[in-house]
Amino acid sequence: MAKILYNKQILPAYYQLGIRWENLPTIEPGQFVMLRLTKYIDPLLRRPFGVYKILGQGARGKGQGIEILYKVLGKGTRLMTNLKPDDEVDILGPLGNSFSAHSGKTNVIIVAGGIGIVPFYLLAKRFKKVRLLFGGRSKDDLPGLDDFKKLKIDIEVSTDDGSRGKKGLVTEIIAKQLSGNSLIYACGPQGMLKEVARIADKTGIPCYVSLDKAMACGIGACLGCAIKVKGQGPWVKSQENKSAIRNPQSAIYKMVCKDGPIFDAREIVWEEI
Ligand SMILES: Cc1cc2nc3c(=O)[nH]c(=O)nc-3n(C[C@H](O)[C@H](O)[C@H](O)COP(=O)(O)OP(=O)(O)OC[C@H]3O[C@@H](n4cnc5c(N)ncnc54)[C@H](O)[C@@H]3O)c2cc1C
Ligand code: FES
């Protein structure tokens, strides 16, 4: 159980929620928590939210709480807007994997769509040089932009309606940013992720995506967040030299909550996501 510190509306559909967390565990960029409002019976199940910031982080990296950045979508997030300081929430985490190190890549590009910006605040702070491509439907769908500006990183913004930054999709500005030494991290709507994965695949650039799937348990127990991944099925004989290889056509399921939410984009069977 944890207590609310603040719940601030930052844009018409977006809020920042500060949560005090005694004995905060180490949280890596990209990890998430499952959160439930104890005041209400419905919704019964916890909801997943990325950790946006660590609060009150001292010199030793220990924080006193976390900040969640959330978008009002359905019943649970609508009720979250009623949370007041000192209200209690039930929180489980940190859960899931985190973004892997960038192994010497010098052109690190973050591609975020709307609320998909969340996992990147902690990540961007780890790099001396990183470029953020941030897209939203309109200027009201760029939550946290001011926080990222304060990090003094390169930022390029696009909106579908042209109300801020370049008019068009964020995926339209990726190509000219790529070089031989690039690495892409992406999070956002599925259509955006698919297109980013396609561009990365075509150009041979490593790409890691954070997936968003509705989750009931968050710990790998309910199997509700399964996705199909490639090439890890049964061993077969290679046609070429008869050695044993993994059947490249085969696929298995992985759980977004336990095996993810971050995956190598090449691993995912995008047609079935
Ligand atoms: C790993 C992970 C991290 C996330 N981090 C954040 C975050 O930092 N901030 C944030 O605002 N949201 C985040 N989400 C999404 C968030 O969990 C959902 O928006 C939330 O659960 C919706 O709850 P609700 O009760 O308001 O909506 P519901 O009433 O449960 O659903 C409303 C509608 O949204 C759909 N829906 C429910 N959950 C999701 C989902 N996960 N993705 C797409 N559609 C969904 C439902 O099918 C329904 O149509 C994250 C999801 C995952 C899996
Ligand atoms: S949410 Fe239950 S297995 Fe992933």
DSSP 170-226: GGGGTGGG--TTEEEEEES-HHHHHHHHHHHHHHT--EEEE-----SSSSSSS-TTE
Let me know: does 207 contact 132? Beta carbons within 8 Å.
no
Beta bridge mates, 89:
2, 37
Please give the pLDDT value at position 61: 55
Measured from CB, residues less than 6 Å from any atom of ligand 2 are 215-218, 220-225, 255, 257
- Ligand 1: does its nearest atom lie under 6 Å from the Cβ of 48? yes
Q: Is 74 in the pocket of ligand 1 (CB under 6 A)?
A: yes
What is the spatial order of strands in the sheet that 14-20 belongs to? 47-50, 32-37, 88-95, 2-11, 14-20, 65-71, 53-55
**pLDDT for 196-216, tens place per residue?**
999 999 999 999 999 999 999
Return the best residue to mutate from 34, 40, 49, 190 for the ligand 1 pocket (most ligand atoms within 8 A of CB): 49
Query: Residue 63's closest CA among 100, 18, 32?
Result: 18
Q: Which residue has the tokens 């399964």?
A: 226
pLDDT at 252: 86
Pocket lining: 167 vs ligand 1, CB cutoff 6 Å? no
How many CB atoms sit inside 10 A of residue 184's CB? 25
Which residue is listed with tokens 């042209």? 162
Looking at residue 233, its pLDDT comes to 62
pLDDT at 237: 73
Global pTM value: 0.92
Residue linked to tokens 């077969």: 236
Which residues lie closer than 8 Å to 162 by C-beta, 6 or more apart?
168
Q: What is the pLDDT of residue 246?
A: 62
Query: Alpha-carbon distance 227 to 233, whole Å?
Result: 14
CA of 258 relative to ligand 2 center, distance in Å: 7
Q: Which ligand is nearest the CA of 46, by number?
A: 1
- CA–CA separation, 148 vs 143, rounded Å? 10
DSSP per-residue string spanning 48-99: EEE--EEET--TTS--SEEEEEEE--SHHHHHHTT--TT-EEEEEEEES--P
Q: Within 10 A of 175 (CB to CB), how many other CB atoms are there?
A: 10
- How far is ligand 2, taken at its centre, from the CA of residue 48, in Å? 10
Low-confidence ranges of the chain (pLDDT < 70): 58-62, 101-103, 231-236, 238, 240-249
Domains of the chain, first to last = 2-95 (2.40.30.10), 107-213 (3.40.50.80)
The answer to whether 118 and 186 have CB atoms below 8 angstroms apart is no
3-state secondary structure of 253: strand
Give residue for tokens 């109300």. Answer: 163
Look at the alpha carbons of 260, 266, 267, 273 in this order and tell me if their dihedral is positive or negative: positive
